[in-house]
C-alpha cells in the first residue's frame, strides 16, 4: 500500500506568475498569428485590436517575468539551484531522464525524478527552462520592447542590424516558444494522472507517494 503525502511545491507568487504567463503567452500567440497573417487570420475584431492586445499581453508577460525573477532572486533565493543543472545532472541525470521519457515510461516505470521545493525540476526540465527563462524569454521580451518603441529606440535597432532583422529574431523566437509550449503542455500531462502535474500549479500542493521516494532514492542517485 502506498502512503500518499502532500508537499507544498509551488508558492503563490510562482503560481500567479505561471498563469499570468500562460494566459499572456497564449494571447501573444493568437494575436501574433493575426498580426503576421492578417489576410488569412482575423481572430480578434480588427487589426488594431490584435496589435493593442499583443502589446498589452507582452507587457503583462514582461511584468510577470519580473515577478518571477524578483521572487526567486530575492525572496526564495534558490533560482540558481532550481534552474542550473549540476555537473552530475548534466553527466548522468540528463541521460537517465531521457531514458525515462523515451523508454521506461512506456514500460510503466516511475519517473526517476521526484520534485521537492528545492529541486523541482528534473535535469531535462532544468536544461530546457534554463535556455527558455534565461535566453529565449529575455530575448523575446527585449525584441518586443524594441518593436513597441521603434522610433525612441532606433539607435539600438540599427545596432542590431535593422528593423527587419529584429522582426525576424522576434518571430523565430516566438516560434521556438510556441514549439516549447506544445511540448510543455503535453509533458505536463505525463503524471500518474493527466492533471497530476497541472493541479499543483493551481493549488500549490503536489500529492506524492513516499514509498516510491524510497525506492527511487535507492535505485537512482539524487542530484545535488
Which residues contact another protein by CB under 8 A? 1-2, 35-39, 46-48, 51-52, 55, 101, 105-110, 150-152, 154-155, 158-159, 161-165, 167-168, 171-172, 174-176, 178-183, 185-187, 190, 192, 209, 211
Query: What is the C-alpha to C-alpha distance for residues 157 and 151, in angstroms, rounded to an integer?
Result: 9
CB of 113 to another protein, least distance (A): 17
CB of 161 to another protein, least distance (A): 6
CB of 115 to another protein, least distance (A): 19
Query: What is the C-alpha to C-alpha distance for residues 6 and 208, in angstroms, rounded to an integer?
Result: 6
Task: Kindly report the number of other CB atoms within 10 A of residue 31's CB atom.
Answer: 24
Q: Which is nearer to another protein, 16 or 216 (CB)?
A: 216
- CA 141, 147, 150, 156 torsion: positive or negative? positive
Dihedral of the CA atoms 149, 17, 86, 103 (nearest 10)? -110
Contact residues for 33 (Cβ-Cβ < 8 A; gap 6+): 41, 43
Q: Which is nearer to another protein, 23 or 171 (CB)?
A: 171
- CA 133, 134, 138, 140 torsion: positive or negative? negative
Q: Which is nearer to another protein, 74 or 182 (CB)?
A: 182
Q: Which is nearer to another protein, 52 or 80 (CB)?
A: 52
CB of 110 to another protein, least distance (A): 8
CB of 78 to another protein, least distance (A): 28
CA 88 to chain centre: 23
Q: Which is nearer to another protein, 66 or 185 (CB)?
A: 185
Amino acid at each position: 500500500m502506498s502512503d500518499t503525502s502532500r508537499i507544498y511545491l509551488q508558492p503563490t507568487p510562482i503560481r500567479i506568475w505561471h498563469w499570468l504567463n500562460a494566459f499572456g503567452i497564449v494571447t501573444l500567440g493568437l494575436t501574433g498569428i493575426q498580426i503576421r497573417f492578417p489576410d488569412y487570420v482575423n481572430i480578434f475584431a480588427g487589426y488594431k485590436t490584435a496589435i493593442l492586445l499583443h502589446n498589452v499581453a507582452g507587457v503583462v508577460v514582461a511584468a510577470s517575468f519580473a515577478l518571477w525573477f524578483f521572487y526567486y532572486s530575492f525572496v526564495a533565493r534558490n533560482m540558481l539551484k532550481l534552474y542550473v543543472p549540476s555537473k552530475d545532472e548534466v553527466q548522468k541525470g540528463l541521460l537517465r531522464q531521457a531514458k525515462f521519457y523515451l523508454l521506461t515510461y512506456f514500460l510503466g516505470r516511475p519517473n526517476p525524478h521526484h520534485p521537492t521545493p528545492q529541486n523541482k525540476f528534473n535535469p531535462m526540465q532544468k536544461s530546457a527552462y534554463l535556455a527558455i527563462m534565461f535566453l529565449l524569454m529575455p530575448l523575446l521580451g527585449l525584441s518586443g520592447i524594441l518593436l513597441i518603441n521603434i522610433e525612441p529606440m532606433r539607435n539600438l535597432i540599427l545596432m542590431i542590424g535593422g528593423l527587419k532583422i529584429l522582426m525576424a529574431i522576434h518571430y523565430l523566437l516566438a516560434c521556438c516558444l510556441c514549439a516549447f509550449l506544445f511540448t510543455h503542455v503535453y509533458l505536463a500531462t505525463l503524471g500518474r494522472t493527466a492533471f497530476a502535474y497541472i493541479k499543483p500549479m493551481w493549488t500549490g500542493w503536489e500529492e506524492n507517494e513516499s514509498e516510491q521516494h524510497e525506492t527511487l532514492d535507492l535505485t537512482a542517485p539524487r542530484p545535488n
